[in-house]
A = this chain, B = another copy of it.
Amino acid sequence: MKSQAPFAYDGLERIFHERGRLAVCSCLIAKPEGMSFTALQDACALTDGNLNRHLHALSETAVVSLERVRGSGRPTTIVKITEVGRARFLAYIDALEAIVRAVHDGERSAEPNALRLATSS
């Protein structure tokens, strides 16, 4: 039933359709080598707590991997998007793109009506 409805939007996976996680994944997709926790935090303007919470959700579903790295200074966490996560995220982005396209098409098809309403008032 659900998939018959043209606007059911089942393709919008909840794990990605949250602003913070959308930001994190958009950021990581360009960095297959991974990003440090603090670099990710700066890029996405997330608090420690929020970023931690999102990374927990994303690593639980195997979208990202977390690696604790010890160098000369303090240990840091390196976050990478996994192959599976990458494929799932790109499928989500395709679904978003289809929605953007549908809205633009709908808007264009509505224009003659909108114009008629505007000029008749």
Interface residues on A, range: 35 or more
Is A99 within 8 A of B96, CB to CB?
A: yes
Interface string of A4-33 (1 = CB under 8 A from B): 111111001000010100111011011111
- Copies of this protein in the complex: 2
Any B CB within 8 A of the CB of A97: yes
Report if A69 contacts B (CB, 8 A): no
Contacts of A78 in B (CB 8 A): none
Q: Does A42 contact B (CB under 8 A)?
A: yes
A interface residues (Cβ-Cβ under 8 A, vs B): 1-2, 4-9, 12, 17, 19, 22-24, 26-27, 29-33, 42-45, 89-90, 93, 96-97, 99-100, 102-107, 109-110, 113-114, 117
